[in-house]
Amino acid sequence: MKKMIGHLLSGSLSEGFLMRIAQPNKLEQIKTGKFVCIEGIEHTFFSLITDLSLAVSNPDILLFPPAAHESLLTSIISKKDVYATARIKAMLMLTAERRVMPVKTIPPHFAPIYEASPQDVAAIFGDEKDTTKPYFSIGCPIDMQTPVCLNLERLTERSNGIFGKTGTGKTFLTRLVLAGLMKHEQAVNLIFDMHSEYGLQARKEGSNHFVKGLKTLFGSRVALFSLDPASTRRRGATPDVELAIPLNQIAVDDIISLQEELNLHATAVEAIHLLAARYRHEWLTTLLSQGERLKEFAHELGGHPESIAALYRKIKRIEHFPFIQHQSKYQTGGLDELIAYLSKGISVIIEFGNQTSTLCYLLMANMISRRIHAEWVGKTEKFLASQKKEDEPKKLMITIEEAHKFLNPYAARQTIFGTIAREMRKYYVSLLVVDQRPSGIDQEVLSQIGTKIIAQLNDEKDIAAVLTGTAHAQELRTILATLDSKKQALILGHAVAMPVVIQTREYDEAFYQAMAPIVQKTDIDTLINELF
């Protein structure tokens, strides 16, 4: 039986409704973000509590409030003279035919308001037991034990974002989402793992316990690529592929996207184009091999000697990364293998090990993603020409951390990630951006984010930015401000029917068991033989 928590007093479609909280409900058990249902005559209105307040029937009561020992007086006036109200925003309505639709009308005065039931939650957010659609439980509404599900098919239709200040569990939420995509085989994933938290194992937030990574959970369905193989081995694993990137694989655009990080001036960018025009793919190798003869080389090139010398000094930093090689036993240093794995439907985690500098992360994420994107553009064009099902590319989702470094207003125009975000999966490629400073991301890119999972944010600029282009933004700001610092998140956007606050799902033994049926026992060597 549903629990009644109040009745409707007033309100409007645009501004929301006012509910009087009924006795004997305990006020302190009713929280912002709670999921409730307004029972109209013909429709049920699914709503969120956005604010709470205290009210009195006569303002004179506040002039002479009862003292602490006057319990009888407190009890008497509490029955009708003092009460609590809640602001409610209706998000969806259910018709008499059980059809979910946007709110187009309003309920009558004094309509009863109930706590949402498990059936209500399932009707709105879907049920993992439903085999017709790929639903994945991400958590439960506040004060409920009923799963809220993401529609993974809709999740992969757009780029998505996971936001929250440092320490709120963004990585934990990201692992949950990625595990769901892998379990239901809705997308193949490319994950740039800056801090080695997704592959083998990771420390549980705030404790010395460790949780399983995606490679440990899904075995041969995930391949581990490493830029620091020694670090990977020290943690007890052997990488499937050791990445060694030849200099001739670094394109002009890869360096230009690092213009801010390397502090390259406009003259340096002109010099890069001069080099590329003459030496093509060998431009970087040629520049870094000059050493003592930079002045003569600048005159031969027709460039300014000081500009060439400055460019040489700044780009020389790249050569110091141990995975960068002038010569490699593989022509592409592992990039062809990476594409082969992804094309086969095997997700790839690229571990950086101890190579955690921002320059390293920006360079590798840009370079690899640019190459992958070009490959998927080619696959898509082939599919559009043939229209054969076997030619259709697999959906690819690229996960990047520190997203504001790739997608700030300047970088979004220079990096491949800005292009991917704006394309809205036109070429079967989307992003999963993970960031603690959404205000640093270009607003045009943020407006293209389909589904947002938002943990606690304190900065007003970040809260305003993350709600860019969102309906009911003002009400959701209040909810965001009251989230717990851990294990709570606001989900809104394309993959859920309406915004909802959840207590996130536990990443524990029960979760491992839920993932277990999808883990295959195929030996990784067998898969490698199939690939190559």
What backbone phi and psi angles, to 5 degrees, belong to 318?
-65, -35
**Is 70 exceeded by the pLDDT of residue 292?**
yes
Q: What is the pLDDT of residues 79-121, one digit of tens each?
A: 888 999 999 999 999 988 888 899 999 999 999 999 999 998 9
Residue 497, token pair as written in the block: 């029917």
**Which domain covers residue 464, as residue numbers?**
149-243+334-531
Phi-psi sector, 302: left (phi>0), alpha (psi -120 to 50), beta: left
375 and 482 housed in the same domain: yes
Instruction: State yes or no: cis peptide before 24, omega within 30 of 0.
Output: yes
Indicate whether 426 and 486 sit together in one domain: yes
Per residue in 465-514, pLDDT (tens digit) is: 999 878 888 889 988 988 998 899 999 999 999 999 999 999 889 999 99
Q: Is 111 within a domain?
A: yes
Note the pLDDT of residue 521: 41
The answer to whether residue 208 scores a pLDDT higher than 80 is no
Longest CA–CA span in the chain (Å) reads 97
CATH number at residue 172: 3.40.50.300
**Is position 136 within any domain?**
no
What is the token pair recorded at 66? 């009862």
Please name the amino acid found at residue 471: A
Mean per-residue pLDDT, 418-442: 92
pLDDT tens digit string along 340-363?
A: 999 999 999 999 999 989 999 999
pLDDT in the model for residue 291: 80
Tell me: do 286 and 161 sit in the same domain: no
pLDDT at residue 115, as a whole number = 93
Q: Does residue 358 share a domain with residue 309? A: no
Question: In this structure, are 96 and 220 located in the same domain?
Answer: no
Is residue 82 located within the same domain as residue 177?
Answer: no
Residue 340 lies in a domain: yes
Q: Mark whether 380 and 266 lie in a shared domain.
A: no
Same domain, residue pair 354 and 502: yes
pLDDT digits 0-9 by tens, 359-389: 999 999 999 999 999 999 999 999 999 999 9
Same domain, 519 and 417: yes
Task: Label residue 530 by pLDDT band (50, 70, 90).
Answer: low
> Domain tally for the chain?
3
What pLDDT is stored for residue 333 in this prediction?
A: 63
Sign of the C-alpha dihedral, residues 433, 439, 440, 442?
positive
Strand-pair partners of 348: 190, 223
The per-residue pLDDT for 77 is: 86
Same domain as 253, residue 235 = no
Angstrom distance (rounded) from CA 44 to CA 39: 5
If you average pLDDT over residues 8-16, what whole number do you get? 93
CA 509 to the chain's CA centroid: 24
Residue 415: inside a domain? yes
User: Which amino acid, 432?
Assistant: L
Predicted pLDDT at 206: 60
235 and 297 share one domain: no
24-59 tens-digit pLDDT: 888 899 999 999 999 999 999 999 999 999 999 988
pLDDT score, position 501: 93
Residue 335 above 80 pLDDT?
A: yes
Confidence class of residue 522 from pLDDT cuts 50, 70 and 90? very low
- In a 3-state reduction of DSSP, which class is residue 115? strand
Could you report the per-residue pLDDT of 210-229, keeping only the tens digit for each? 889 999 999 999 999 999 99
pLDDT of residue 503: 94
Query: Does position 318 have pLDDT exceeding 70, yes or no?
Result: yes
Q: Judge whether residue 330 has pLDDT over 50.
A: no
Residue 143: inside a domain, yes or no?
A: no
Chain centroid to Cα 147, Å, comes to 20
Q: For residues 203 and 262, state if they share a domain.
A: no
CA distance readout (Å), 44 to 3, 82, 103, 418? 15, 29, 10, 41
Residue 78 binned pLDDT confidence (cut-offs 50, 70, 90): confident
